Amino acid sequence: MQLLKRKGLTVGVSRVHIKLLNFVCDAPARAFVKCTKLHSGYSSCEKCDQRGEWAGKVIFTPTAGCLRTDEQFRSKADDGHHLHNITSPLTALDVGMVSQFPLDPMHLVYLGVMRRLLMTWLRGPLSVRLGTHSSSEISTFLLVLSPHIPTDFCRRPRSLLDIDRWKATEFRLFLLYCGPVVLKAILKEPLYKHFLLLFVACRILSSQQLNLQFNNYAGSLLESFVQGVVELYGKTAVVYNIHGLLHLAADAERFGSLENFSAFPFENKLKAVKRLVRKPHLALQQVARRLAELERCDVSIPNSVVKQYKVKNEHNEGPVPEAIANAKQFRRLSVNGVQLSLGQRNSCVQLHDNSIAVIKNILKVANKVLIVYSKFNRVEEFFTYPLASSCLGIFTVSNLARSSSWTDAESITRKCVLLPAGIDQPDFVTLPLLHC
């Protein structure tokens, strides 16, 4: 890294300057490369000097301590935080050993906090544990939602019977999309409102725009959530991951939305790297050779900005407005890589006038792409605590208009997830898609 920062990187005939942004690691990896105490240690928090206490496990108070600084880390001001007589080799770089090591949301929030909440509701103390009937209802509802999940998600909801095999993407799907819908009629009101604090904060921090505007508010919600953990689940529930939520908003303020410093892209890349290895002997050399071969082949990445609108699957089943002549009809539309199509999974969008609509047909006239759509006549708040759901673009909708209108595809502002509000209810809940 010192060599790259000093000399840069030559790509073709261009010299690229290299700047180190951050290190994305889970908690054990951060402790390993920084040579600090593991997440099970008393002074394990990497962002503040809050010291834990032993209660069968290390627990923390629901408030943050004095924030650590890069200078304090290098001088080892908190001796209990560092391994004795070992200094991280990364200190040789001009890198903030505190500020440039964000807490990874994939492991902290989804595999950490969200998983712990679900496991507490299923297998925790009787005061907060759900009954067999309630957990069965959640599982049934999740399976009902499965056909409505857009193709942007690599996994659909599974039953709680499989929770021990859930992946991080499934916990993220539950927290940011399915959870508020599924839990609304099942969790007790104090538990549901407490869950909404985490949901709203993570929705804000997962959105580039909302994070810029309401980062401080999201931070205050996470503080209230951690305090609520003590009140609802007991002080022994405030473990390392729960405590880490107190510092999540600060990392998002520095690096942008949660996806900017999440381990998801790196975990996904592991699949491609593994495919480059054919046998266990000399694995690193195999990867290097395959990457060199790909570079020589000059594999170019298609630029979706060049062709913003792509239509596929031509058909002739309508509807087509009378005012439009010589239009070709299609079932699929790709807008900068985001897939829209006819049917219940990928057809819900929000338009420029903030109305929620369902695409009924996709037309192409000359070089213009048009959509035929129907609007929901009834649009209401889905929840009002801790804020009105409309502030996040989330609504309860019903009564889809039978008549259709049409507009230019440029009128689409974002794709939405459209989920049934209940197993036998005519209402739907619509949430803007964050990860696309």
User: Does the global pTM surpass 0.75?
Assistant: yes
Residue 105: name the closest of 239, 256, 274 by CA: 256
pLDDT (0 to 100) of residue 297: 72
pLDDT (0 to 100) of residue 259: 93
Phi, psi at 296, each rounded to 5°:
-70, -30
Residues 262, 113, 188, 210: what is their CA dihedral angle, to the nearest 10 degrees?
-30
Q: How many CA atoms lie within 13 A of 14 on its CB side?
A: 4
pLDDT (0 to 100) of residue 436: 62
Distance CA(190)–CA(103), nearest Å, equals: 28
Q: Which regions of 303-344 does DSSP assign to beta strands (E)?
A: 309-315, 328-335, 338-341
The burial class, CB within 10 Å (0-12 / 13-18 / 19+), for 14 is: exposed
Distance CA(239)–CA(313), nearest Å, equals: 51
Distance CA(418)–CA(343), nearest Å, equals: 11
The amino acid occupying position 273 is: V
Are 227 and 243 in contact, with CB atoms under 8 Å apart?
no
Are 194 and 228 in contact, with CB atoms under 8 Å apart?
yes
pLDDT (0 to 100) of residue 424: 85
Residue given tokens 């627990």 in the structure block: 59
Are 64 and 247 in contact, with CB atoms under 8 Å apart?
yes
Topology, domain 309-432: SH3 type barrels. (2.30.30)
pLDDT (0 to 100) of residue 300: 46
Q: Where in the chain is the domain with CATH 2.30.30.490?
A: 309-432
Q: How long is the chain?
A: 436
Give mean pLDDT in consecutive 10-residue pieces for the chain, a chain of 436 residues: 90 89 96 96 96 96 96 94 94 94 97 98 95 97 96 94 96 98 96 98 96 97 98 97 98 96 92 90 93 72 57 92 91 92 94 95 93 96 97 96 93 95 93 86
**Alpha helices (runs of H) in 235-263, residue ranges in sequence order:** 240-244, 248-255
Phi, psi at 210, each rounded to 5°:
-65, -35
pLDDT (0 to 100) of residue 305: 45
Are 431 and 417 in contact, with CB atoms under 8 Å apart?
yes
Q: DSSP 3-state helix, strand, coil percentages of the chain (rounded to 5)?
A: 40, 20, 40
Distance CA(403)–CA(435), nearest Å, equals: 31
The token pair that represents 302 in the structure block: 């298609």
The burial class, CB within 10 Å (0-12 / 13-18 / 19+), for 180 is: buried
